[in-house]
Chain A
Amino acid sequence: MGKDQARTEIPPGTLYMLILRSLARVGPMHGYGIAQHIQQLSEDVLQVEEGSLYPALQRMLIKGWVTADWAQSENNRRARYYRLTPAGKKQLSAEMSEFDRVMRAIANVIQPA
């Protein structure tokens, strides 16, 4: 339980990219799985708020980046699995290159002269 204290806000605008990337890497996942995945890969630095995650997933459904289907989960409960669509893949690469561009720019600004 104690891990929660080290929680860091996910930088604004990157949540969609993180979700899309997780789905691209692992394949179809449920909401909890996505949150866990992001948390583990970021070594507990990034904590996905449920309050942001589920509205974000709905928005991605509207945009057509993901689709959702109910399926049996690993512990035999019904869960909603989100799957990346071709439109989602396109969106992911667009967001990643944009993110790269911004990161490089920031790095240029802050690196010692």
Chain B
Amino acid sequence: MAWLGSKPGELWRRIGFLHRQRQFDSEMEEELRFHAAMKAGAYRADGADAEEAHYAALRRLGNPTELRERSRDMWGWRWLEAFAQDTRYAFRVLRKSPAFTLLAVVSLALGIGANTVVFSVLNALVLKALPVADAARVYFVNNSGGPAQSFPNYRDIRDRNAVFESLFAYRIAMMSLDDNGGAHRVWGYLVTGNYFESLGIKPALGRFFTPAEDAHPNASPYAVISYACWQDRFGGDPQVAGKDIRINGHPYTVLGVAPRAFHGTEVFYWSEIWVPMTMQPQIEGHSWLDERNTHNSWVAGRLKPGVTVQQAEANLGVIAAQLAHDYASNEGMRLTLSVPGVAGSAGREPTRAFAGGVMLMAALVLLAACANLASLLAARMADRSRDLAIRVSIGAGGGRIVRQLLTESLWIAMLGGAAGCALAAVLLRLLSQWRAPLDFPVQFDVTPDWRVFLFAFAAALSTGLLFGIGPARHAWKAAPALHLKGSATPRSGRRWAARDVLLPVQIALCCVLVTASLVAVRGLMRSFQTPLGFRPDGAAVIGYDVGLAGYNEDQGRVFQQRALEAVAHLPGVESAAYSSSVPLSIDQSSTTVYSESTTDFRPKNAHSAGTYRVAPGYFQTAGTRLLAGREFTPQDKPNAPRVAIVNQTFARSVTGAADAVGRRFRLGAGGPLYQIVAIVEDGKYETLTEVPKPAVFFPILQNYSSTIVLMVRSRRPESELAAEMREAIGRLDPHLAIYGVGSLHQMLGLVYLPMHAALVALGAFGVLALMLSITGIYGLAAYTVSRRVREIGIRVAIGARPVQVLRLIFARAGVLVAAGATAGLVLGMAAAHVLASIVYQASPRDPVVIGASVLAIAGVGLAAALGPARRALRIDPVQALRHE
């Protein structure tokens, strides 16, 4: 390819040549004929006779074919011709052994397909930039403890910084959207007025709101809707901009529609609606926009051109120090930047670790597939030595043979890669359309882009090289020997060496994968048995927010009592209660408490506790054990003494005593004192993997909440009850937007999502690994039998018993498999430590896992060897001796 550096015009002429190759040959021939004729004419003029002149001219011209070839080579396509020739030959060879070709292509397709899917997910979650203008300059601002900032702090950071072109705040918010066709509960964002212009996106329709339209509290009743919302809820109405809608019962105007690809500034969360931040009091019922202690907004912004992350963080560091100095609640404040998309670095790091871990597993699958193919190819090479010998003896050099063999494996890889890509495309399409069965718009846009296809191509190319290079190298070394012998089936001990390593490597890799997926499965099974601090089985729930339907507090209290009575009288209900939220659901809030004796209210003396507002009978209904004290009663009313129920961790850490009933604590800095009336068992509140956390429950009658989860406990199926509850609530108020109807288990879906994902991914890899082990062992065993048919025949003829025959064939394979499995098991247990970060309670030292892995590999080995073994035992000595 000497022409790689040629100029554009030259390149075009060279490419044009490809279209007229045949014409070139005939023209060249004619030109040379003309030349010979002219030359002959000249010789005749010199006095030679016609025939003599003719031959002299031809002699003078030399070999016309060679001359034509040399002229043709000038165009620089020689390599392509050779490649085309190699390709034709490769396909002929592959067609001749369809079983091998199918096995190779399918196992590669599975390996490459799995990798492409995983890479595509990784790409979507971590690599792909948000669909906004110049996304490389948009950064998320993390707070010390997590992603959220208080709104007053946001305002100060926005006004004091010198590095951001613009800084915006946003918050995930739930709203009731009434499009004149009934109220629907939708998920959206509250965003500052500069949100859209900072992101630099263009509306699909209408316009976005501006900073001027986000200036005064509750004065900007504007909304921007997502493309999907526009299509689904407004039927793609081209007049939607300017349309009046109601949000939480208040009139709003739709200004425009966001572009189709834009779902908000978080990758997982697909927003339907954007409302100015100053409408927060109206949307959420209580305002925190001026509370410096309430960390409720996420902050991101666009850096000025040329500002580096280091410069920006230095500037933010100065501001953080000022803010920490000015306000006690900001003590220890640190501001850092991260790529936006997954709740700042708090979500991005685990997501990346998770995706990276799964990617590693996927790579192991592909590696196992490569080892598998390499050993199959090596086995085939022995059969092809005669063919190669002939090629060598008619003049093919080592390089030519190697190129030929590599072309063959590259084509296998390309076929496997194409099939894998098709497989991945189907799976990714399904995954993109899949919506997690959650009361939350979790969706992944994993549509493959150029990166994914580039990845798949690179994966296919490198696997092709990886599994092709061994046999090709072997052929290179053997070529001179083959040449000397003319035809031979050399049987040196060395030949087996490569395969002796390949099989155990492959088994070890598969063993790692099987162990890892079993660890994940066990971890998941156990996490379902983790004590949650409440019993979801038999509990049905329904959620709604009367505030979204425009109820004030008095109306809300009346409604909640009526709703409770309505569901409590449904058939089969044992107990019923309501609360502001339930542990492990999406809606979690926490509060700051101090011990009674604390007078210094700085953050170091504060305790953060998960907080819930619950009605009388909640603990009985939720199945939470009361360790001491009493449940709330209807007497814990607004004017009654302030009381609370706390969990064991709260009791220990805040009051310092396990038996804390009767003790008091303070809610908020300088806030009121509450008396503890009961202790409940510890539970899980935000994630299944968390360490025990303090939690506090207040009587909902003393602390009104418009957001309600109504729960009943019954022996009847949860789905049946849930449907009846929906009906009962619907009778009370048909306009109330209801969500999260179903079993309590369903409401907890989000906390189980990462584990479900891990289970599916690792389970699939485990199955793939087992399939690859089967093909690998089968390939080797079948090959061994077919190579030694003659020998087995002789041995049977002189009286070998079946056991001896089997030992002859499988002793070696058995040792190899056992060695690989042992190594794999050890590695798998080491790898399981990595898994422990993904899968809760994944313990590598679980005897069940080890036992199951050993059983699985042994079973696979037996299954794979069964066919070849039967074939070996059926060998008829007479026929065997005629073999070959």
* Residues of chain A having any CB pair with chain B under 8 Å: 1, 4, 30-32, 36, 50-51, 54-55, 57-59, 61-64, 70, 73, 75, 77-80
| Extra A-B contacts (15), CB below 8 Å, given A50-B61, A73-B34 | A1-B43, A4-B60, A32-B34, A32-B38, A36-B42, A50-B32, A54-B67, A55-B67, A55-B70, A58-B72, A62-B74, A75-B41, A79-B34, A80-B27, A80-B31
- Mask: chain B, 53-97; 1 = CB below 8 Å from A; 0 = not: 000100011100001001111110000000000000000000000
Residues in B603-643 with C-beta less than 8 Å from chain A: none
Q: Which of B7-15, B764-772, B820-828 contacts A (4 or more CB under 8 A)?
A: B7-15
> How far apart sit A75 and B71, CA to CA, in the bound complex (Å)?
26
17 CB contacts below 8 A, A to B, read A30-B35, A32-B34, A36-B42, A50-B62, A51-B67, A55-B71, A55-B73, A55-B74, A58-B71, A58-B75, A59-B74, A62-B13, A62-B74, A73-B34, A75-B38, A77-B34, A80-B27
B256 to chain A, nearest CB (A): 55
A62 to chain B, nearest CB (A): 6
Q: Which residues on the B side are within 8 Å of A75 (C-beta)?
A: 38, 41
Q: Which residues on the A side are within 8 Å of B60 (C-beta)?
A: 4, 50
Q: Is B50 an interface residue (CB 8 A)?
A: no
Q: Which residues on the A side are within 8 Å of B39 (C-beta)?
A: 32
Q: Which residues on the B side are within 8 Å of A30 (C-beta)?
A: 31, 34-35
Choice from A55, A62, A70, A77 contacting B14 with Cβ under 8 Å: A62
Q: Which residues on the A side are within 8 Å of B62 (C-beta)?
A: 50-51
B593 to chain A, nearest CB (A): 83
> How far apart sit A80 and B42, CA to CA, in the bound complex (Å)?
19
- Mask: chain B, 18-42; 1 = CB below 8 Å from A; 0 = not: 0000000001101110110111011
> How far apart sit A99 and B75, CA to CA, in the bound complex (Å)?
27
Chain A residues touching B, majority SS: helix
> How far apart sit A36 and B39, CA to CA, in the bound complex (Å)?
10
* Residues of chain B having any CB pair with chain A under 8 Å: 9-10, 13-14, 27-28, 30-32, 34-35, 37-39, 41-43, 46, 48, 56, 60-62, 67, 70-75
B13, B35, B39, B43 pick with most chain A CB within 10 angstroms:
B35
B74→A78 contact, CB < 8 A: no
> Considering only CB atoms, which chain B residue lies closest to A53 in the complex?
B35
A51→B70 contact, CB < 8 A: yes
Q: Which residues on the A side are within 8 Å of B9 (C-beta)?
A: 64
B28, B31, B48 pick with most chain A CB within 10 angstroms:
B31
Choice from A1, A50, A64, A70 contacting B35 with Cβ under 8 Å: A50
A31 to chain B, nearest CB (A): 6
> Considering only CB atoms, which chain B residue lies closest to A73 in the complex?
B34
A31→B31 contact, CB < 8 A: yes
B10→A50 contact, CB < 8 A: no
Choice from B10, B37, B61 contacting A77 with Cβ under 8 Å: B37
B6 to chain A, nearest CB (A): 8
**A64/B10 contact (C-beta < 8 A), A1-B48, A78-B30, A79-B34 known:** yes
A55 to chain B, nearest CB (A): 5
> How far apart sit A63 and B46, CA to CA, in the bound complex (Å)?
37
> Considering only CB atoms, which chain A residue lies closest to B74 in the complex?
A58
